[in-house]
Amino acid sequence: MLSRRVLLAGSAAASLSPAAVLTARADPERAASAWSEASHSAVRLIAGGSADEGWAAGVEFKLANGFKTYWRDPGDAGTPPVFDWTGSENCKAIRVIWPAPERFEDGSSSSIGYHDPLILPVVVTPADATAPIRLRLAMSYAICATMCIPAQGQAVLGLAGPRQTEHAGRIAEAASKAPVKTALGTAAPSGLAISAATILAGAKPALATEIVAPDPAAAIDLFVEGPRGSFFSKPALKERSSGGVARLISPIEEKPAGLSAWPLRLTLVAGGRSIEVDTTVNASALL
């Protein structure tokens, strides 16, 4: 398996140049681009239809049996997808939606990502709402079974007209699996909440997170994204009450130098439900 550090350092170099994707062809009436094949995988763009912000589309992955790909934070090993939309036409903004991921264990490390089938929804805001959109994507990503394999893909797709395509339902279903954004201390409609996050100093520094997960039988996981230069490993469940209150301890394996306030993005997954909380913690005790 390639290490997290090696693959993250090489991900930019693995990206396709913008010129590579310009040779692809798109039909504005088609609901999907051609599959861009790689070893043990393929990617394509699919159209969903008009949405509140403009257009709903998706990056669809096809993975060979036993392979997985990675979330925006891949964990101990792997590399996240890198999207290059250079050359796209009539696009004011392009936003990728990340469904809640899962953790994969291989005995010595853990990674974070997805298995097949996978659609990453994309929301496209046009510069001119009356004109068609043309998406041009060049991307790098990685897949892994027993070892990690870098991959590349390219796709072009035109978006036009208000109609919903045959892919609209699958894109909406994938988007529904994205964590619900909420504030620290505020419960989502599911009852999930992150009530507190605190840095613990000492010989083995860690992040202590207090959460609420109403279903006592639901498996719990927490994915912590911190400032550049930080890395948190898999959390340990230290306490869990019958009322759903639990305490998770995430070891801090790497920390940025000279930073006393750490911005964090916390993704809590429990029993098929998930929330996302942005917060800032005081890390002055680690200086």
pLDDT tens-digit series, residues 26-72: 344 579 999 999 999 999 999 999 888 789 999 999 999 999 999 99
d(CA 166, CA 176): 17
Which of 120, 129, 114, 155 shows the shortest CA–CA distance to 32? 155
Query: Is 242 found in the same domain as 190?
Result: yes
- One domain, residues 202 and 125: no
Question: Are 117 and 11 members of one domain?
Answer: yes
Query: Distance between CA atoms of 175 and 274, rounded to whole angstroms?
Result: 12
Are 191 and 228 in the same domain?
A: yes
Give every residue of the chain whose pLDDT is below 50, as ranges.
Answer: 1-28
Show which of 178, 193, 222 is a domain's final residue: 178
Q: What is the pLDDT of residue 29?
A: 52
Torsion sign over Cα 272, 246, 68, 182: positive
Q: What does the alpha-carbon distance between residue 134 and residue 159 come to, in Å, rounded to a whole number?
A: 6
Report how far residue 274's alpha carbon sits from residue 192's, in angstroms, rounded to the nearest whole number: 7
Task: Give yes or no: residues 8 and 127 share one domain.
Answer: yes
Are both 206 and 235 inside the same structural domain? yes
The Cα 100–Cα 71 span in angstroms is: 9
Query: Would you state the structure tokens that stand for residue 182, as one six-digit string?
Result: 């909420």
pLDDT of res. 51? 83
CA distance 155 to 102: 27
Q: Running DSSP on this structure, what letter comes out for residue 3?
A: B
pTM: 0.88
Q: Is the peptide bond before 117 cis (omega within 30 degrees of 0)?
A: yes
**173 and 194 share one domain:** no
Number of Cβ within 10 Å of residue 17's Cβ equals 11
Residue-range definition of the domain harbouring residue 39: 4-178
Largest CA distance in the chain: 60
* Domain-terminating residue out of 178, 206, 234: 178
Cβ contacts of 23 within 8 Å, gap of 6 or more:
none
Report pLDDT for 22. Answer: 27
The number of domains in the chain is 2
CATH number at residue 215: 2.60.40
